[in-house]
Structure 1
Amino acid sequence: MSFQITKGLFKFDFTDQHAILGVPLDAEFNDIRKRYMKIVRRLHSDTCPFENQAEKDKANEFLSKVVNPAYNKFSKESDRKEYGLLVDMIAKRTVKEQKTLQLESEAAKQLTTAKDFQEAYKKTLAELAEKQYESIEHSLDIIAQISEINMVYLLRKEQKGPIASQPQQASKATTTATSAPPPKAPAAPPAKSQDSFVEQACRRVEGLMSTKNYAKAILELKEALNRDPKHSKSHALLGMCYLEQKQATMAKIEINKALALNPQEPTALEAKKKLEQSTAQPATTAKGQKRGAKPQAKAGKAAADNKKTDKKVGKKTDPPKSEGFFGGFFGGLFGGSKKK
């Protein structure tokens, strides 16, 4: 069974976990957990109400492959924060790309002009969620509808006003282009918008890096690489971010990917040079300390040897304390060893 969805926020190469669980984008974790438990009771093979075994198997598969991974994104606080940042970035994209957005569900179209869009959003979503898992055959379609109203909600929240029916106008423009041959040229912009999005993401990342906001920069780059996995500069910038966060292994992986795609990528070459310097510096310092220690040891040993020599010389050359004039005279006259 295929679980692919291409409507709503899913068209941005983004998995709309809120739509899968049928909860609002601003839902608290406790509400998400309650909703998840309700879906589990509906889809689990031990508790699902479906009589047909084939339907039970589909329900159980949907639970394990779609619903459980969605809930896992919210089960940890760190994952929730990261996912929240991704939703914020998607919201900004909806504003930039709203002219190319096309809405299919009537609920999403009505939400574009609803006076109190937040109240209308929650009401519409609750109605869709109520019948979301009544039949597995229709579950994907309802998830797509919820994701469409999520997209409109984010767009209106960012714009702080009605959308002025732009998505519907885009749909009409497509119909006109089909009937009249000349306007076929506008079919090219989607590819350009994809390229321009990645380039714009790189420029945003460079700004984030200048303020040392590497965590958000990494999220931006991961989103860009989802759109274009072979973008060498994105890999290079990601490697640079990892390098700044002292993650040398991850940095090396991304830098190598960038150079494999484009051996002359300037950012990748610069990042590689910094990586080599950072890994070589500790080794050089350690060697310098060892080399510096040897002359000191030798100097210390030489000083100790000199002291010993001075003591020996002192013993041989110093005259006996009892020697005077006669001692020196008779000692020289009758010199020799004393008899015992």
Structure 2
Amino acid sequence: MLFKIEQGLFTAEFTDYHAVLGVPVDAEPKDIRKHYLKLARRLHPDSCAKESESDRKRAAEFLSKMVNPAYEKLSDEKNYTEYQLLLKLKGQQALRQQDTIMLSSDVARKLATERGAIEAAYQNALKSLASEQYHHLDRTLELTGQISELNMIYLMRKASEGDMPAMGGPRPAQSAAAGTAATGSSPAATAAPTATAQKTAPTRESIVASYLRRAQEFENKQNYTAAIKELRDGLQIDPQNGTTHCRLGVVYMKANQATMAKIHFRKALEINPQDTVAQQGMKRLDPNNQSAAAAPQHNAPAKGAKTPPKSGKSEGGGLFGLFGGKKK
């Protein structure tokens, strides 16, 4: 996304598509589509005829570069399945890092102080922001960031309760449901496909493998920029995947970005000191350093190990201690 937003779930490698559209993270497909069509009408040039030229141009850019791409992501079944898992992991990651999170909006801070169930407060706060999101174009990015902070708080609370929200989005059962309306068949007929779809949900490993596969295809075509993007997206799913770090090292080396290649080769060796590809990559990049291929041993946690809390930090859980201490 060309517009820079740094609040909430947004990072250099991750876009909060729900926040862009102003819908909750557990919104149903029909509600996402309904709200998207409303935004598309609002931002269409014909709807902005009475506004200034600068506002018409800004509205067109928001529609083409933010709203349309976000809806394409959330309406595509394959992309959404991966994105759904990534959202869950984002919530868990934010919970682990809660001591370092700074909320920039009063509405997010208020939601963070809610006791007990926060579904109603979350929905009401988000709806209020979304109603203004694309009506004041000079504040659109600010309001989108605030909505993303609400999404982050909601996901963190659900992660702390061990109860991730049932995400909306495309499901195989959608077409079956449409068939029910057309033919009058019983709802029970569509229950089995839904259960089957839930049982066959992709694993983290299979999703990372798909990123690695696509990256290899781009690498074979010498499209290193696209390959790097796929691999970095894969690290969003599993940051401790040694294979992905190693492949990033290889691609960065081919792209003549030696510094980035070294970073990822070293990370690959932290995870797996016996990774021969990473060892060879380090030797090639730094042939005069005999220890370059050695895996760093200083306090490198084993895969899956928890990082010890920093001194001086409260162990009661950040963000006002509302999410509880870290699970043992």
Aligned length: 207
More helix by share: 1
1:225-274 CA distances to partner (integer Å, 9 max, x unpaired)? 35989xxx95x61399xxxxxxxxxxxx76843776358964253999xx
Secondary structure of the corresponding residue to residue 24 of structure 1? coil
1:159 maps to 160
Contact 1:86 1:219 in 2 (8 A): no
Separation in 1, partners of 2:209, 2:6: 25
Q: TM-score, normalised by structure 1?
A: 0.53
Displacement of 1:75: 1.9
Name the amino acid aligned to 1:86: L
1:102 maps to 102
Q: Does 2:254 correspond to 1:257?
A: no
Q: Does 2:232 correspond to 1:225?
A: yes
Q: TM-score, normalised by structure 2?
A: 0.55
Separation in 2, partners of 1:121, 1:85: 21
Counterpart selection for 1:237 from 222, 232, 243? 243
Separation in 2, partners of 1:31, 1:148: 21
Would the alpha carbon gap of residues 268 and 225 (structure 1) be closer, same or farther in structure 2, given more than 3 Å must change? farther
Contact 1:259 1:268 in 2 (8 A): no
Separation in 2, partners of 1:220, 1:87: 17
Q: Does 2:277 correspond to 1:269?
A: yes
Contact 1:42 1:49 in 2 (8 A): no
Contact 2:211 2:231 in 1 (8 A): yes
Displacement of 1:38: 0.3
Separation in 1, partners of 2:51, 2:234: 42
**Structure with greater Cα Rg:** 1
1:317 maps to none
Displacement of 1:218: 4.1
Q: Does 2:84 correspond to 1:84?
A: yes
Separation in 2, partners of 1:112, 1:223: 33
Separation in 1, partners of 2:86, 2:108: 22
Secondary structure of the corresponding residue to residue 55 of structure 1? helix
Name the amino acid aligned to 2:119: Q
Would the alpha carbon gap of residues 121 and 224 (structure 1) be closer, same or farther in structure 2, given more than 3 Å must change? farther
Name the amino acid aligned to 2:251: K
1:28-81 CA distances to partner (integer Å, 9 max, x unpaired)? 111111100000100010223642122111101111011111111012111111
Name the amino acid aligned to 1:143: T
Would the alpha carbon gap of residues 151 and 270 (structure 1) be closer, same or farther in structure 2, given more than 3 Å must change? closer
Q: Does 2:108 correspond to 1:117?
A: no
Contact 1:218 1:238 in 2 (8 A): no
Contact 1:239 1:254 in 2 (8 A): yes
Q: CA RMSD in A?
A: 3.6
2:177 maps to none
Q: Structure 1 stretches (4+) deviating beyond 6 angstroms?
A: 219-224
Secondary structure of the corresponding residue to residue 48 of structure 2? coil
2:60 maps to 60
Contact 1:41 1:48 in 2 (8 A): no
Separation in 2, partners of 1:213, 1:137: 39
Separation in 2, partners of 1:268, 1:226: 24
Displacement of 1:143: 0.3
Separation in 2, partners of 1:90, 1:214: 16
More relative contact order in 1 or in 2 (CA 8 Å, sep 6+)?
Answer: 2
Higher alpha-carbon deviation: 128-137 or 42-51: 42-51
Would the alpha carbon gap of residues 56 and 76 (structure 1) be closer, same or farther in structure 2, given more than 3 Å must change? same
Would the alpha carbon gap of residues 213 and 13 (structure 1) be closer, same or farther in structure 2, given more than 3 Å must change? closer
1:135-177 CA distances to partner (integer Å, 9 max, x unpaired)? 211111110110111111111111129xxxxxxxxxxxxxxxx
Contact 2:22 2:144 in 1 (8 A): yes
Separation in 2, partners of 1:213, 1:142: 32
Would the alpha carbon gap of residues 254 and 99 (structure 1) be closer, same or farther in structure 2, given more than 3 Å must change? closer
Q: What pairs up with 1:26-45 in 2 under 5 angstroms?
A: 26-45=26-45
Separation in 2, partners of 1:73, 1:87: 13
Counterpart selection for 2:205 from 214, 222, 234? 214
Q: Does 2:71 correspond to 1:71?
A: yes
Contact 2:211 2:233 in 1 (8 A): no
Contact 1:55 1:136 in 2 (8 A): yes
Separation in 1, partners of 2:65, 2:110: 32
Separation in 2, partners of 1:219, 1:97: 28
Contact 1:105 1:145 in 2 (8 A): yes
Aligned-pair identity (%): 38
Unaligned runs of 5+ in 1: 162-211, 241-252, 273-340
